[in-house]
Amino acid sequence: MPGVETIDSIDAAGLALADFLRDHPRLLVITGAGVSTDSGIPDYRDAAGRWKRPPPVQHGDFMGSLAVRRRYWARALVGFKALREAQVGGAHRALARLEALGHVDTLVTQNVDRLHQRAGSRRVIDLHGRADLVKCMQCGYSMMRHALHDQLARLNPAFASLKAQHAPDGDADLETDFADFKVHDCQRCGGIFKPDVVFYGDVVPAIRRQQAEEGLARADAVLAIGTSLMVFSGYRLCRQAHERGMPVAALNLGVTRADPLLSLKLSAPLTAVLEDTLARLGGSR
């Protein structure tokens, strides 16, 4: 990343980010798992961008294999508690405040936890969907995920009582024999229920890509927060911005896929930097 210094102290990062926001008043912000780790939701990658655990389920495997779906829903029955009970964190609140002050035009989140909305952000695009909904892949019928989990718990009481370490996006590090797990399919057509999220190997719906690109067209600059940008859907926006000559900044504890494109790299605790930035911009901590 020639010519771009990495700033790793909170004060210096807060000062640099405040200056960046003053110089670029309309931001497209991209957020990732690092924004929600303080809320108790684990992230996928380490500071070097490597997987912390085996990669998550692939869309094709989920759709094509009952055994994969049994394993997925059994683990989710244990692990979804982390998402269901997660509380808004300081980074979510700070970004909502920055939006209220007029600094954030569009917030594109790769997270599926809806914590940005709960914190008060209004201009949010859930790029990868939302984990609190499930959708039938045949007829399109949707329902709240907690209702499906209630059904799964009634069908599988032995699994519902299991404990395991929580993993990202409502998964759990549970390994056992899943052959007896009963999957609940769509009550209308018998189709496959899937969380209303973009699994690995799937594609972001065209309407969300269009909304994100419209936000990019309005923006003066891009700021990525709490994401390594290893997933192409987020990195793509940074690459498009760079190709248009727009500044791209990142606030992330670790490497990002967009490091060679950055005009500002901040590697310091997210919430502390955002709160320091708010104070310098006249907002409240």
Which residues have a catalytic role annotated?
128
Backbone angle region of 206, left / alpha / beta, with phi > 0 → left and psi within -120 to 50 → alpha? alpha
- Collapse the DSSP code of 208 into the 3-class scheme (helix H, G, I; strand E, B; otherwise coil) and give the result: helix
Spatial separation of the C-alpha atoms in residues 119 and 89, rounded to whole Å: 8
Spatial separation of the C-alpha atoms in residues 183 and 242, rounded to whole Å: 45
Sign of the CA dihedral running 269, 270, 271, 275: positive
What is each CA distance from 162 to 70, 76, 173, 191, 220, in whole angstroms?
15, 11, 11, 27, 49
Closest CA to 86 of 118, 108, 133: 118
Spatial separation of the C-alpha atoms in residues 64 and 67, rounded to whole Å: 9
